Amino acid sequence: MTYTWCGRAAAAGETVWLALSDGGGPYAEAAEAARREIQRGGASAEIATWQQFLAPGRAPPPLVIAIGSGAYAGLAESDLRAPLLATLLPRAAFERHAERAGRQGRTATAVYLDQPPARLLDLLRLTLPERRRIGVLYGPESRQWAPALRQASAERGVTLAVAEMAAGAGLFPLLQDLIDGSDMLLAMPDPHVFNSLTVQNILTATYRRRIPLIGFSPAYVKAGALLAVYSTPSQVGAQAGEIARAWLAGRPLPAPQSPREFSIGVNGDVARSLGIAFAPDATEKWIEQLRLKERAP
Amino acid sequence: MSPRESLPGKCQFLLAVALCTAEAFAQTQVAVSERDYFEELPVVLSVSRLAQPLDEAPGAVTVIDREMIRLSGVRDLMDLFRLVPGFQVAKPPSGAGIVTYHGLGESYPRGMQVLLDGRSMYSPFFYGGVNWNLIPVALDDIERIEVVRGSNSASYGANAFLGIANIVTRHASEGHGVTAEVREGNQGVHDRFLRLGGGSATNVRVSALSQQDDGIVTQPDHIGKRLFDARADIRLGLRDELQLQAGTLDVGLQVGTVGKAGDPSRLQQLRHQFVSLGWRRALDEFGELAVRYYRAEESGADAFTWLAGGMTFPIDYGFRSQRDDLEVQHTFRPWPDARLVWGGELRSDIVSGKQFYGTTEPVRLGLGRIFGNLEWRLHPAWVANVGGTIERDSNTGTSAAPRLALNWHVAPGQTLRAGISGAFRSPSLFESRGYGPVVATNGLLLGYYYFQRDKLVPERLISREIGWLGEFRPINLTADLRVFAEQVNGHMATVQTTLTAPYCPTLDPLCAAASSTAPSSYNMQDVSIRGLEYQVRWQPAARTRVILNQAFVRMSQQLRLPDNPLAVVTQIGQSTSEIINMQIQAAASAPTRNLSLMLMQTLPGGLELSATYSSVGALKWTQNDRISGYKRLDWRLAYPFRVGPTRGELAFAVQGDGAKRTEYRSFNVMSTRGYATLRLDY
């Protein structure tokens, strides 16, 4: 598979497809942000579900932005030949179908939802500098992050305490050992480990040990995680839109990338009860510092 | 791959075939997707007893969180229900506030249940119902209030009939340090609050509150409360936690009417004290076992001497009640795409009060119930909740309340819900066995304060509802709509009934006078309640939030006895006007339109402005009076500040800004109340 498909100048009237996994929700939010960016470049974009775009008799577009893993999977399996830009999906979901998309001679790239490990660890160093033992509970879907997290933690001189849950195995015994050897718990998305049924008990267990949990969505902050770093649908959608705009203007499609813009959510009540004092404008400052670090040569 | 696309073909149109759905569910759980980033985590417990996201709960819920409580500026718990669609709130003189959902309010409404950390606030004393003055909690200790709009006997048994509020206080590990608050205002507002919290393996919180105001200021209606409340949460390893709570609330309330010999103006002393012990064990990442015991005691001192016709009537409305309650609850996953919560509760109520039961001997009520709710994910987009309660009490026998609800995630952020549930309200001890002769020291029987002769049975309710929950992320708006048809059968109403021998008053030995009557309750009416209500929460800008609530309610009623007032008069000896008044009141006990709009805006300089506008339509709280509807504006302006490690806030709040209004009876005129609050956290 090659990511350097040559860009080209958009012909007037050409319309990029914004293919949603499903109408509404985060998909619609990401699509609107992408469309705004594309329109800024003078091109137009049409929003519909991926199945609607695959209806017979439609002329192929210059570029398709697949929003969500369902849209990406459906389009990767289809006969559509246009280059594919996937967003609002995790790396694992992209990679599952990237091979098939490539095999059919199509170009595919992505803007992931996953935060890069370096950003995660830099944030933990900024926010909780005195806590140097980071617990990570991997499952079958998140263990792909283990090498990158190990490297990033070694570079920053922090210890990673790791446990891995096998599919279908019990979580609590692992969690007990992990909590004993850590002073914070970093949650990596994996439905085998963190899902709406388990999160309540995991949060309670960490909370009782006064171990902050670092989540990956605003819902975690609301539910009782100390903080979470995440990219909103608008942020990844806009990034995909910028890529599309650049491609229409003749630039090549880039390699799959992490989200550039991100947000940080803090649960002030949890922070106070853990005896952690954050300044009122702390999140803005952290985002600024992380940006500076990431943009440094 | 998104869940719905991943279904095997044979599952495409299938709802309930277990084999296939189990397969579909297993597939949704295998692969990481954007769902992991955007799914809502469980937020409400109160509908099914399972922690569920709002869009998978088998009923409509409005959550009032800490921030909303703070921004609303309210001092009294009951006022928060003005922010929930379908609720009516009023403050009568000489008594507790009254709150009802979809009407059927009276001076002592009895259809709503309030749980405070799982303890029932439904009083064993008097008519039953909730005495809003006697709920032992400081508003600042509340984490959130989950208000179930509908009935919930299916989870909480009798009395979770029309509306249920589950008040969850903060874990003792939250709010460490010291919080102090001072509030002063007009109409006698004079409040103090102090809370200390700390600990690590054992966290303890102690709160003390003193609160006073002059009530309805046009008559002696002063209330003073003193609350002392403590909570300890003790960790016993990773899996186990103990929770201890205890508290005492003393209330001094000015009741009666100046110059009225039979109900003189006087001070009533009330007390609620409780101790509660809970244990929770996390069985695995899904399961939990919880056991809780509590004892709550209420007592009141209210005695006076009534001098009439040269005779002396010693009246003693004093009472004492004691409730012991043990509950066990087990949550687990019976199979991968289902969760089950089930358990049981045993309760003993012992009540005594001479003027209420005609004796100083205690009156007892024993109760046992089992409950359960199965949440079954039939398909990634379909969730069914099936559950119910079976309850037996020593007063009325066995009652059951089943529930079935189906939630369909039509599209991301869009959920439709259809549900049907049964509920029941058992007559309170007083309603079913109350006997209050008014006897002079010389033995003369003047009449009865209350005299229940006929047997009462629980009133029943069948509720059908369609709900829609919509989330529109690009514009930060969520909507919650409930369309309902609630049929109440055998609603208990209290009316004056004619006395017959041998119960005639001494002065009217043949019960010949029309005034020889006594209040008594009957399963007298069937009431139909239909309508729709909605709540919209919108954040149009980072510093602006709006909550809009509106309800449209239509009520109608039918006498259960022959639907002809004259026939009823003959049968149970009531006056025609009494029956007609009662019929009119029931049908007009909820306003046909009710609206509240809350705006929260952060201003430059960190100032916080919030304002709530309410418009309540005409309604009848009582049989003899009607209020013509009112509009009310409450607002609050706050300045949060920080001095070193101390956080503080100076706030000014106004309730009922502008014109005078009547909320309960046409002659209880209420005027503007304002107060300033200084709060420090360190």
Express each pLDDT in A70-87 by its tens digit.
Answer: 999 999 888 888 899 999
Would A282 be classed as within a structural domain?
Answer: yes
Tokens 């879907």 locate to: A141
Q: Which residues contact B664 (CB under 8 A, 6 or more apart)?
A: B90, B91, B92, B93, B98, B621, B627
- pLDDT score of B214 more than 60: yes
SS3 A106: coil
- pLDDT score of A13 more than 70: no
If asked whether residues A82 and A125 sit together in one domain, one would say no
- Give the other-Cβ count within 10 Å of B191's Cβ: 19
Domain count within chain A: 2
If asked whether residues A144 and A287 sit together in one domain, one would say yes
Name the residue in chain A with its Cα closest to that of B337: A197
Q: What is the pLDDT of residue B6?
A: 37
Do B642 and A280 count as a contact with CB atoms less than 8 A apart? yes
**Which pLDDT band holds residue A22 (cuts at 50, 70, 90)?**
confident
- pLDDT score of B669 more than 80: yes
Q: What is the pLDDT of residue B17?
A: 33
SS3 A74: helix
Chain B residues closer than 8 Å to A272 by CB: 174-177
Which of B364 and B666 is assigned the larger pLDDT?
A: B364
Nearest-Cα distance to chain A for B140, in Å, is: 13
SS3 B60: strand
If asked whether residues A19 and A144 sit together in one domain, one would say no
Q: Strand A84-89 relative to strand A108-112: parallel, antiparallel, unpaired?
A: parallel
- Are the C-beta atoms of B464 and B162 separated by less than 8 Å? no
3-state SS, B122-177, equals ECCCCCCCECHHHCCCCHHHEEEEEEEECCCHHHHCCCCCCCEEEEEECCCCCCCE
User: What ipTM score was computed for the predicted complex, to two decimals?
Assistant: 0.92
Chain B residues closer than 8 Å to A70 by CB: 1-6, 33
The average pLDDT across A221-247 equals 94
> Positive or negative CA dihedral for B234, B235, B236, B239?
positive
The average pLDDT across B346-370 equals 94
Q: Which pair of structure tokens corresponds to residue B236?
A: 């016993």
Q: Strand B544-559 relative to strand B593-602: parallel, antiparallel, unpaired?
A: antiparallel
Would A277 be classed as within a structural domain?
Answer: yes
Would A3 be classed as within a structural domain?
Answer: no
- The terminus-to-terminus CA distance of chain B in angstroms comes to 49
Name the residue in chain B with its Cα closest to that of A216: B37
- Are the C-beta atoms of B516 and B447 separated by less than 8 Å? yes
If asked whether residues A80 and A97 sit together in one domain, one would say yes
Render pLDDT for B464-498 as a digit per residue (tens, 0 to 9): 999 999 988 778 899 999 999 999 999 998 888 88
If asked whether residues A91 and A196 sit together in one domain, one would say no
Q: Among A208-212, B145-149, B304-308, B573-577, name the one with the lowest average pLDDT.
A: B573-577
If asked whether residues A68 and A215 sit together in one domain, one would say no
- Are the C-beta atoms of A29 and A62 separated by less than 8 Å? no
- pLDDT score of B575 more than 90: no
The average pLDDT across A198-208 equals 81
Q: Give the range of the structural domain holding residue A130, as residue numbers without chain letter.
A: 117-230+267-295
- Give the other-Cβ count within 10 Å of B607's Cβ: 12
The average pLDDT across B374-387 equals 94
Sheet with A263-266, strands from edge to edge, namely A159-164, A133-138, A184-186, A213-215, A227-230, A263-266
User: Residue A35 and residue A46: Cα distance in Å, rounded?
Assistant: 8
If asked whether residues A144 and A106 sit together in one domain, one would say no
User: How much of chain B, in percent, has pLDDT values that exceed 70?
Assistant: 93
Largest CA distance in chain B: 90
Q: For residue A133, which of A188, A181, A165 has the smallest C-alpha distance?
A: A181
Beta-bridged to residue B294, according to DSSP, are: B276, B325
* Stretch (H or E) spanning B496: strand B477-498
Do A28 and B474 count as a contact with CB atoms less than 8 A apart? yes
User: Residue B158 and residue B122: Cα distance in Å, rounded?
Assistant: 10
Do B40 and A196 count as a contact with CB atoms less than 8 A apart? yes
Nearest-Cα distance to chain B for A101, in Å, is: 14
Nearest-Cα distance to chain B for A278, in Å, is: 11
Partner-chain residue, chosen from B171, B412, B472, that has the shortest CB–CB distance to A22: B412
Task: Tell me the average pLDDT of chain B.
Answer: 88
Q: What is the pLDDT of residue B570?
A: 55
Which of B426 and A224 is assigned the larger pLDDT?
A: B426
Chain B residues closer than 8 Å to A234 by CB: 474
B543 in contact with A at a CB cutoff of 8 Å?
no
Please give the interface size between A and B, counted as residue pairs whose CB atoms are below 8 Å apart. Answer: 179
The average pLDDT across A192-205 equals 84
Q: What is the pLDDT of residue B660?
A: 83
Q: What is the pLDDT of residue A147?
A: 95
Q: Which pair of structure tokens corresponds to residue B130?
A: 């909730």
Would A260 be classed as within a structural domain?
Answer: no
Pick from B12, B33, B415 the residue to mutate for testing the A interface (most A CBs within 10 Å). Answer: B33
- Are the C-beta atoms of A193 and A142 separated by less than 8 Å? yes
CA angle B591, B526, B110 (to 5 degrees): 65
Q: How far is CA B205 from CA A176, B197, B209, B279, B312, in A?
A: 27, 4, 13, 18, 50
- The terminus-to-terminus CA distance of chain A in angstroms comes to 28
Distance of CA A71 to the CA centre of its chain: 16
User: Residue B617 and residue B602: Cα distance in Å, rounded?
Assistant: 31
**Which pLDDT band holds residue B27 (cuts at 50, 70, 90)?**
very low
User: Is the link from the previous residue into B85 a cis peptide, with omega within 30 of 0?
Assistant: no
User: How much of chain B, in percent, has pLDDT values that exceed 90?
Assistant: 61
Partner-chain residue, chosen from A22, A208, A273, that has the shortest CB–CB distance to B174: A273
Q: What is the pLDDT of residue B15?
A: 31
- Are the C-beta atoms of A112 and A257 separated by less than 8 Å? yes
Do A179 and B238 count as a contact with CB atoms less than 8 A apart? yes
Which of B504 and B14 is assigned the larger pLDDT?
A: B504
B581 in contact with A at a CB cutoff of 8 Å?
no
| Phi, psi values for residue A53, rounded to 5° | -65, -30
Do B282 and A199 count as a contact with CB atoms less than 8 A apart? no
Partner-chain residue, chosen from A90, A194, A202, that has the shortest CB–CB distance to B34: A90
Q: What is the pLDDT of residue B5?
A: 35
Do B411 and A216 count as a contact with CB atoms less than 8 A apart? no
Q: For residue B403, which of B631, B97, B182, B156 has the smallest C-alpha distance?
A: B156
| Phi, psi values for residue B313, rounded to 5° | -110, 105
The average pLDDT across B655-672 equals 86
Would A262 be classed as within a structural domain?
Answer: no
Which of A290 and B202 is assigned the larger pLDDT?
A: A290
- Are the C-beta atoms of B97 and B76 separated by less than 8 Å? yes
Burial of B12 (0-12, 13-18, 19+ CB in 10 A): exposed
Chain A residues closer than 8 Å to B284 by CB: 170-172, 201
B412 in contact with A at a CB cutoff of 8 Å?
yes
Q: For residue B325, which of B350, B293, B297 has the smallest C-alpha distance?
A: B293
If asked whether residues A60 and A131 sit together in one domain, one would say no
Q: Which pair of structure tokens corresponds to residue B361?
A: 């001997």
SS3 B647: strand
Task: Tell me the average pLDDT of chain A.
Answer: 88
Tokens 């009083």 locate to: B123
User: Residue B372 and residue B400: Cα distance in Å, rounded?
Assistant: 12
Which of B581 and A2 is assigned the larger pLDDT?
A: B581
If asked whether residues A199 and A144 sit together in one domain, one would say yes
- Are the C-beta atoms of B34 and A72 separated by less than 8 Å? no
Chain A residues closer than 8 Å to B339 by CB: 197
User: Residue A82 and residue A65: Cα distance in Å, rounded?
Assistant: 10
Nearest-Cα distance to chain B for A34, in Å, is: 12
Q: What is the pLDDT of residue B12?
A: 37
Q: What is the pLDDT of residue B370?
A: 97
Would A155 be classed as within a structural domain?
Answer: yes
- Are the C-beta atoms of B358 and B449 separated by less than 8 Å? no
Do B37 and A222 count as a contact with CB atoms less than 8 A apart? no
Do A69 and B1 count as a contact with CB atoms less than 8 A apart? yes
Do A172 and B238 count as a contact with CB atoms less than 8 A apart? yes
User: Residue B119 and residue B141: Cα distance in Å, rounded?
Assistant: 16
- Domains for chain B: give ranges and CATH numbers: 1-39 (no CATH), 40-309+324-681 (2.40.170.20)
- pLDDT score of B123 more than 80: yes
User: Residue B670 and residue B655: Cα distance in Å, rounded?
Assistant: 10
Q: What is the pLDDT of residue B590?
A: 92
Would A253 be classed as within a structural domain?
Answer: no
Q: Please report, for chain B, how many H helices and E strands are present, in that order.
A: 8, 35
Which of B28 and A205 is assigned the larger pLDDT?
A: A205
User: Residue A128 and residue B63: Cα distance in Å, rounded?
Assistant: 32
Q: How far is CA A40 from CA A8, A35, A210, A247, A248, in A?
A: 17, 9, 48, 13, 12
Burial of B65 (0-12, 13-18, 19+ CB in 10 A): middle
Q: For residue A101, which of A78, A118, A120 has the smallest C-alpha distance?
A: A78
Partner-chain residue, chosen from B32, B177, B282, that has the shortest CB–CB distance to A92: B32
User: Residue A44 and residue A266: Cα distance in Å, rounded?
Assistant: 37
Render pLDDT for B589-645 as a digit per residue (tens, 0 to 9): 999 999 999 999 999 988 999 999 999 999 998 888 888 899 999 999 999 998 888
SS3 B464: strand
Pick from B37, B69, B233, B647 the residue to mutate for testing the A interface (most A CBs within 10 Å). Answer: B37
- Give the other-Cβ count within 10 Å of B456's Cβ: 20
The average pLDDT across B547-559 equals 94
**Which pLDDT band holds residue B574 (cuts at 50, 70, 90)?**
low
Q: Which residues contact B593 (CB under 8 A, 6 or more apart)?
A: B550, B551, B552, B615, B617
User: Residue B433 and residue B363: Cα distance in Å, rounded?
Assistant: 9
If asked whether residues A92 and A160 sit together in one domain, one would say no
- Are the C-beta atoms of B611 and B633 separated by less than 8 Å? yes
Q: For residue B344, which of B97, B157, B94 has the smallest C-alpha distance?
A: B157
Do B43 and A222 count as a contact with CB atoms less than 8 A apart? yes
Q: Among B151-160, B544-553, B659-668, name the one with the lowest average pLDDT.
A: B659-668
Q: What is the pLDDT of residue B331?
A: 93
The average pLDDT across B144-154 equals 94
Q: Among A128-142, B114-128, B250-264, B559-573, name the one with the lowest average pLDDT.
A: B559-573
Pick from A94, A262, A273, A281 the residue to mutate for testing the B interface (most B CBs within 10 Å). Answer: A273
- pLDDT score of B367 more than 50: yes
The average pLDDT across A257-264 equals 96
Chain B, window 644-663: residues with a beta carbon less than 8 angstroms from a chain A beta carbon: 645
Would A107 be classed as within a structural domain?
Answer: yes
Partner-chain residue, chosen from A142, A230, A272, that has the shortest CB–CB distance to B37: A230
Name the residue in chain A with its Cα closest to that of B336: A168
If asked whether residues A223 and A287 sit together in one domain, one would say yes
Amino acid identity of A192? Answer: H
Query: Domain of A152: which CATH number?
Result: 3.40.50.2300
- pLDDT score of A178 more than 60: yes
- Are the C-beta atoms of B315 and B304 separated by less than 8 Å? yes
Strands (E) located in B256-362? 266-282, 288-301, 303-308, 311-316, 319-332, 338-352
Query: Domain of A49: which CATH number?
Result: 3.40.50.360
Pick from A141, A144, A196 the residue to mutate for testing the B interface (most B CBs within 10 Å). Answer: A196
**Which pLDDT band holds residue A69 (cuts at 50, 70, 90)?**
very high
> What is chain A's alpha carbon radius of gyration, rounded to the nearest angstrom?
20
B285 in contact with A at a CB cutoff of 8 Å?
yes
User: Is the link from the previous residue into B502 a cis peptide, with omega within 30 of 0?
Assistant: yes
If asked whether residues A106 and A126 sit together in one domain, one would say no
Render pLDDT for B64-106 as a digit per residue (tens, 0 to 9): 988 899 999 999 999 999 999 999 999 888 778 899 999 988 7
Do B238 and A175 count as a contact with CB atoms less than 8 A apart? yes
> What is chain B's alpha carbon radius of gyration, rounded to the nearest angstrom?
26
Nearest-Cα distance to chain A for B378, in Å, is: 16
Q: What is the pLDDT of residue A8?
A: 52
